[in-house]
């Protein structure tokens, strides 16, 4: 197994992922499930965020109480499937900023090609959570994080729904410092670069485009 991989084994997460994997799950259900699941993932991923104490006043006394450090978190969505994570995560981290990274996968070479990149200002003081439901060959994730690192964020985490050993290896060969959070590490990739058993094309399933 690759370096920094956090497998999120919570029963609610695993149950919802099982429902999403089924081929007879409708677009409507799939979208609802990705929404519910992403809120749970956001909760797990933010578990170790740095905090500091501030002084506040309750109706009875002053006290010191903890808040999250630094500027607002950035949710960096790899278009288009990453957008499926946004609503659920924003429910848990409502103040988060949202960045977009447009990449498509060349069907022949399976290499990621960038067509859009927009992040908030002040990245040096921000923690970034990169969103893509499937870390498959890892090429998109590597390209997205390569590009993100040019903005010098304070930290980067990567979150997906399903990944595989090949994708994790490629990703961590390039970015050993970026932890991956995932509910599932599947068997591998097929000849078209799809994760097996997987759940199919995440973008098509979220947006109903197949």
Provide the annotated active-site residues.
105, 109, 201, 204
CB closer to ligand U5P, 13 vs 136: 136
Helices (H), 46-111: 86-92
Could you say whether residue 127 binds ligand U5P (CB under 6 A)?
Answer: no
Q: Consult the annotation and say whether 66 binds a ligand.
A: no
Tell me phi and psi for residue 80, to 5 degrees. -105, -20
**Spatial CA neighbour of 75 closest among 146, 158, 147:** 158
Which of positions 43-72 make contact with ligand U5P (CB under 6 A)? none
Tell me how many residues contact ligand U5P (CB under 6 A): 22
Chosen residue from 17, 81, 123, 159 binding ligand U5P by CB under 6 A = 81
Could you say whether residue 136 binds ligand U5P (CB under 6 A)?
Answer: yes
Rounded CA separation 135/158 (Å): 9
151 three-state secondary structure = coil
Contact 68, 50 (CB under 8 A): yes
CB closer to ligand U5P, 179 vs 198: 198
DSSP H or E stretch at residue 112: strand 112-118
Give residue for tokens 């090949």: 166
Could you say whether residue 167 binds ligand U5P (CB under 6 A)?
Answer: yes
The least distance separating ligand U5P from the CB of residue 200, rounded to whole angstroms, comes to 6
Could you say whether residue 198 binds ligand U5P (CB under 6 A)?
Answer: yes
Tell me phi and psi for residue 38, to 5 degrees. -70, -30
Rounded CA separation 195/187 (Å): 8
Chosen residue from 139, 148, 179, 181 binding ligand U5P by CB under 6 A = 139
Binding residues for uracil: 195, 200-202
Binding site for ligand U5P (CB under 6 A): 78, 81, 105, 110, 112, 132, 134-141, 167, 193-195, 198, 201-203
């Amino acid at each position: 197994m690759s370096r920094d991989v956090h497998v999120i084994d919570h029963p609610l997460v695993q149950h919802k992922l099982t429902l999403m994997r089924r081929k007879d799950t409708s677009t409507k259900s799939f979208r609802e499930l990705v929404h519910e699941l992403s809120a749970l993932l956001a909760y797990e991923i933010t578990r170790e965020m740095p905090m500091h104490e501030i002084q506040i006043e309750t109706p009875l006394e002053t006290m010191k109480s903890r808040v999250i450090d630094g500027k607002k978190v950035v949710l960096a969505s790899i278009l288009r499937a990453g957008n499926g994570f946004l609503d659920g995560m924003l429910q848990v981290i409502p103040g988060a900023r949202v960045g977009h990274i447009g990449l498509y996968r060349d069907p022949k070479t399976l290499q990621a090609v960038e067509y859009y990149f927009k992040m908030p200002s002040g990245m040096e003081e921000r923690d970034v959570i990169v969103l893509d439901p499937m870390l498959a060959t890892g090429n998109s994730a590597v390209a997205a994080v390569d590009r993100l690192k040019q903005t010098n964020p304070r930290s980067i985490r990567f979150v997906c729904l399903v990944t595989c050993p090949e994708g994790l290896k490629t990703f961590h060969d390039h970015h050993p410092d970026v932890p991956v959070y995932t509910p599932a590490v599947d068997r591998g990739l097929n000849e078209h670069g799809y994760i097996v058993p997987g759940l199919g094309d995440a973008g098509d399933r979220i947006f109903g485009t197949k």
